[in-house]
Amino acid sequence: MRTDIVILAAGQGSRMKSKLPKVLHHIAGKPMLEHVVTAARNSQPQHMQGKIHIVVGHGADQVRDQSGMHEVSWIQQNQQLGTGHAVKQALPKLKGADTVLVIYGDVPLINPCTLATLTEACGGQHLALLTATIPDPAGYGRIIRDSFGDIKAIVEHKDATPGQLAIKEVNTGIMAIPGDRVAYWLEKLSNNNAQQEYYLTDIVAMAVNEGFSIVHAQPTRLTEVQGINSRLQLSELERIYQKQQAEAFMEAGVTILDPQRIDFRGDIQIGQDVALDVNVILEGKVVLGDNVTIEPGCIIRNTKIASNVVVKAHSLLEGAVILSGCEVGPFARLRPGTELADNAKVGNFVEIKQSHIGSGSKANHLTYIGDASVGTNVNIGAGVVTCNYDGANKYKTIINDGAFIGTNSALVAPVTIGRRATTAAGSVITRDLADEELGIARGRQRNINGWKRPSKQKD
């Protein structure tokens, strides 16, 4: 059976007080709309996936351009005339669907399993509503059931009687509709109400009048159906999401010293016996192997780290590949294209970009390595700089196995340092060094006898 999914994302979100469309505001580093699309896609088996249609209105061009969504159908709603009107815009795209699942682009924590359960309950034959039982249902439409427990209507809060207001089961707005009835019911919707809008929930009464059974499902967590209408709600759901992520990782064998002071912002994979200290941010596509330790204040972005690695405090790793047994930091910066082989060591205030550091090599402090290939067991002293840029072009530095680069050496690329070669401290190396050569390139020292320090002049 084919299930098409319609995501409503046309609202302005005026309470956000932003020029950015509401569904583009981020949860865990991604637009909330992207979370919803991911949940929708994951709610169906790969071989049974139907089409995903996103209804946009306010800021439609921004939503299309900035959401990063591909393989979805974009549908324009030029006038925002209610949820029923929004789904109606998608009707030409829904032909042939057995079930139409309607969800919302500002409900980012919806669980794929909940959507799958709702779709299964519909089965292309029943109208399926996602309801929720909440302690304080004020403002929500109430689910009205008959004496047999069957759903008969949805009554809006403002229209409810005192007895109906006591009902705790509410409508979330998410529903699954039989594909062969969706067009018929939507065409019958009326805007004869105070807001002059076409409400999708009105199809419930139509279904009851026609003798259709109304089935339901409920979310595992109430936060799944919590929408975002303000920056306060955005921040609340951000912390809820982070708490859920932290709990899942801890259950899988990860030590997180303080779950309230860590952020997961992307596609994160973590092995066993990993320790994450406070104020760590994992962002983008991050893979951490077993027995990795990340000390406080580190940012790990789009980086793959193998097992038994220690990243010391306040280091920033981006677009890097770190093999097993390495030690990084504290206060190290590894930029995109950095590769550390097994047991390499990068110390404090070292910056590396677009470079390979060989096995057992070390740059312990105060060094810049760019566009370089460093062999195995190389020692790079403090203050070393690979001078890779002439103001227009980048050039490569090659440092072969076992070389020793003395303190404050400047290696002016393109240049090659031979195996077990040495540069003397303070040298500016502009020519290649052969294997086991010593390169010295510095001014001759002069000692002046009888020199007097300058004294401070009197006023």
What residues are labeled active site?
365
The helix/strand/coil state of 84 is: helix
Closest to 82 in 3D by CA, of 193, 178, 214: 193
C-alpha dihedral (118, 120, 125, 131), degrees to nearest 10: -20
Question: Is the distance from CB of 294 to CB of 314 less than 8 angstroms?
Answer: no
Which residues 6+ apart lie within 8 Å of 59 measured at CB?
Answer: 12, 20, 21, 24
Q: Taking the CB of residue 357, how many other CB atoms lie within 10 A of it?
A: 30
Question: Is the distance from CB of 6 to CB of 90 less than 8 angstroms?
Answer: yes
Q: Taking the CB of residue 159, how many other CB atoms lie within 10 A of it?
A: 10
Which residues 6+ apart lie within 8 Å of 69 measured at CB?
Answer: 33, 34, 37, 54
Distance CA 110, CA 237 (A): 11
Question: Is the distance from CB of 363 to CB of 341 less than 8 angstroms?
Answer: no
72 token code pair: 């979805």
Distance CA 399, CA 376 (A): 9
68 token code pair: 């990063």
First to last CA, the chain: 95
Distance CA 161, CA 158 (A): 9
Handedness of CA 422, 424, 425, 427 (dihedral sign): negative
Q: At what angle do helices 32-42 and 112-122 cross, to 10 degrees?
A: 50
Distance CA 167, CA 107 (A): 23
